[in-house]
């Protein structure tokens, strides 16, 4: 069957670039589904191909057999994603003239992807950290013992968030200077031992790691007794609400830990660049719309057109369309999406400014059904 697909691709002029989009799956499926009736002709073609070269077959007008006349032209037309352009070519190529209703309703191929709705994974990340209290902004100050090559340096300045660095500026400066000396190559910079600055270098200890601090909004308590914490592993689903008055959309992340550990149901919406305690709290004015899992289909409409890079020196302008949901950034509220044909990825700048934010289901025969009233999931 791979040979059949290969010959259709070569003779039909189809683009099978798997990185460009996901339409090659539809192309493969169409060829597989239609080639069985012409299996005998295909076998005869390959027998002839073994005896004569391909160019000789072409000169004799012996072509790779197709299921019906105009099959390649029809399939190439149906792979076009622009609805208007596709319908124009349907008319030009005189397709479906015996079925006017189908001809009017025909739409571009819509690749479907299975949503990942199972709750799997760890409750929290494996790295354990220490809770050093709350910052003035309301974040939790998490401190982690970190090897030198794992330090999150600023690539331009070499600065890094060392915990209580003011108490040991000599160590801080020694690490930073070594990093800058090797122009940001951490593997080379710390391949040789780095000693703590001392008057007697022979007795100076080797600096192997330092404590790195980070402001964090959400975490899982591992040991309450000594304030050991770990970061949440992943978001299991994202619940979408809408303000009944302002019509703005809000996102409520539900983590794997929330589901597996039970307890209180999450009730705060992501508020960009704010600690969890400052997130907007859900109340009666917020109406539940639906829940999103990875690969759920959504329809979005922005207030204005957006330019997105899809390849080197190539961009696309879009304002609305169908996308598959990939995830949400709990720090900013931006959602990651991928075009329904997988031709490009993007991120929205939050969801409150969206004009339209709907969820769709795809039936087994490929029809799109807008989700009207979805029952809220429990924990």
Q: Which two tokens stand for residue 36?
A: 């069985």
The reported pLDDT for the residue numbered 117 is: 85
Domain range annotation of the chain: 2-105, 129-230, 235-370
Question: Which range (93-107, 128-142, 266-280) has the least confidence?
Answer: 93-107
| CA nearest to 255, candidates 267, 266, 264 | 266
Express each pLDDT in 35-92 by its tens digit: 665 555 655 655 555 555 556 556 666 565 677 787 888 888 888 888 888 888 888 8
The model's confidence at residue 1, banded by pLDDT at 50, 70 and 90, is very low
Express each pLDDT in 84-132 by its tens digit: 888 888 888 888 888 888 888 888 888 888 898 888 778 888 899 999 9
**Does pLDDT of 3 surpass 60?**
no
């Amino acid at each position: 069957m791979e040979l059949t697909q290969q010959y259709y691709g070569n003779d039909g002029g189809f683009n099978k670039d798997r990185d460009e989009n996901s339409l090659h799956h539809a192309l493969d499926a169409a060829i597989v589904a239609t080639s069985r009736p012409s299996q005998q002709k295909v076998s005869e073609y390959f027998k002839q191909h073994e005896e004569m070269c391909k160019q000789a077959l072409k000169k004799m007008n012996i072509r790779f057999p197709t299921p019906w006349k105009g099959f390649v032209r029809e399939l190439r037309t149906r792979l076009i994603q622009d609805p208007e352009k596709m319908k124009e070519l349907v008319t030009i190529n005189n397709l479906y003239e015996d079925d006017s209703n189908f001809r009017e309703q025909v739409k571009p191929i819509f690749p479907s992807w299975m949503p990942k709705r199972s709750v799997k994974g760890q409750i929290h990340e494996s790295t354990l950290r220490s809770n050093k209290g709350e910052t003035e902004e309301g974040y939790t100050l998490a401190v982690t013992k970190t090897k030198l090559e794992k330090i999150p340096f600023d690539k331009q300045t070499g600065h890094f968030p060392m915990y209580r660095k003011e108490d040991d500026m000599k160590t801080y400066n020694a690490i930073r200077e070594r990093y800058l000396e090797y122009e940001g190559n951490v593997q080379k910079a710390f391949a040789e031992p780095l000693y703590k600055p001392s008057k007697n270098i022979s007795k100076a200890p080797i600096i192997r790691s330092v404590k790195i601090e980070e402001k964090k909004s959400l975490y899982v308590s591992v040991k309450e007794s000594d304030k050991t914490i770990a970061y949440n592993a992943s978001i299991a689903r994202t619940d979408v609400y809408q303000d009944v008055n302002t019509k703005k959309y809000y996102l409520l992340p539900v983590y794997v830990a929330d589901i597996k550990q039970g307890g209180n149901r999450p009730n705060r919406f992501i508020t960009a660049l704010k600690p969890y305690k400052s997130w907007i709290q859900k109340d009666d004015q917020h109406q539940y719309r639906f829940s999103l899992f990875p690969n759920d289909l959504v329809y979005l409409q922005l207030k204005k057109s957006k330019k997105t890079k899809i390849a080197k020196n190539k961009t696309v302008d879009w304002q609305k369309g169908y996308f598959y949901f990939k995830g949400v950034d709990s720090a900013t509220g931006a959602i990651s999406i991928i075009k329904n044909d997988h031709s490009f990825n993007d991120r929205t700048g939050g969801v409150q400014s969206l004009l339209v934010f709907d969820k769709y289901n795809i039936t087994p025969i490929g029809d799109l059904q807008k989700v009207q009233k979805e029952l809220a999931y429990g924990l």
